[in-house]
Amino acid sequence: MSKLVIVGTVAFDAIETPFGKTDKILGGAATFIGLAASQFNVDAAIVSVVGGDFPQEYLDLLANKNLDITGVEIINEGKTFFWSGKYHNDMNTRDTLATELNVLADFNPVVPENYKNADVVMLGNLHPLVQMGVLEQMNKKPKMVILDTMNFWMDCALEELKAVIKKVDVITINDEEARQLTGEYSLVVAAQKIHEMGPKYVVIKKGEHGALLFHGENVFFAPALPLREVFDPTGAGDTFAGGFAGYLAKTEDYSFENMKNAVIYGSTLASFCVEKFGTERMKHLEDKEVYQRLSQFKQLTQFEIVLENHQ
């Protein structure tokens, strides 16, 4: 089992969906990634920053999931990163209402000494300079570096983002962001252009329409599970990334074939995340529920066509 380093925001979110509204609740890219990765019992550490306003109970929640939080800096006189968003009726698109960087504005990440040799690094969504800062602290070249980002950083730190994209093995990005990054409408062409920027593997997330994994000429597609209830999509992308990274860290097999399974695990965990507000569902997720959903996934995507008859 490999060690996993996760960097990303640990945040307060305020969310509005057609089904309800929350005040400031626990959110952040690293929070969702960590909760998903903890499902695999891997040795994982979060590198992030919060303010003095961040409740101890939230830190305890992460620590109780066996996530190492010694790399989560607390700036007592500062305020925690805050994000607020409102979902449209289709739940696939949202408007960002507020992004307050607060303590994230001057964050210098510190990777705990005993994680500097980790084989898997998950660069979750935050400033690309911070993502780069984490990579630079690793003692040896990790076997797998995965990067997730969003339009916010394309708008305000594109050159820094391109510099870090150059150094990663896998990028996970949503369809709109892939189009924004490359200027291409076709996701196949966009993936090709992203390959040329550095990553050998490109995962394009399409919300309720599933995810695509590209590696050179190879393409794999996983649908999202059709769900009875979608309550709040916040964190689904991060949960997907956390499931993907956690599975690779656990299996230590970084081949394209195994990455297909990582995509299925990522999609499965994301399907839980959206069922309740914020982290509510992921907090209490049990192994047997994951197992059941994986088998549903298998049934959903399995079919037997006899190809010989068509030759």
Residues that bind ligand AMP (CB under 6 A): 9, 11, 13, 27-29, 83, 99, 125-126, 150, 152, 234-238
Nearer to ligand AMP, 107 or 254 (CB): 107
Nearer to ligand AMP, 67 or 150 (CB): 150
Q: In what order do the strands lie in the sheet with 201-205?
A: 68-75, 43-51, 3-7, 120-123, 144-148, 170-174, 201-205, 211-215, 218-222
Q: How far is the CB of 311 from ligand AMP (least distance, A)?
A: 44
Query: Among 270, 266, 206, which Cα is nearest to 232's?
Result: 270
Nearer to ligand AMP, 42 or 236 (CB): 236
Nearer to ligand AMP, 28 or 142 (CB): 28
Query: Among 218, 181, 223, 224, which Cα is nearest to 201's?
Result: 218
Nearer to ligand AMP, 152 or 220 (CB): 152
Tell me the angle at which helices 29-37 and 256-273 cross, rounded to the nearest 10 degrees.
Answer: 110
Indicate the helix (H) or strand (E) that contains 197: helix 187-197
Q: How far is the CB of 117 from ligand AMP (least distance, A)?
A: 26
Q: How far is the CB of 101 from ligand AMP (least distance, A)?
A: 8
Q: How far is the CB of 277 from ligand AMP (least distance, A)?
A: 11
How far is 35 from 18, CA to CA, in rounded Å? 25
How far is 220 from 260, CA to CA, in rounded Å? 7
Q: How far is the CB of 31 from ligand AMP (least distance, A)?
A: 7
How far is 263 from 211, CA to CA, in rounded Å? 8
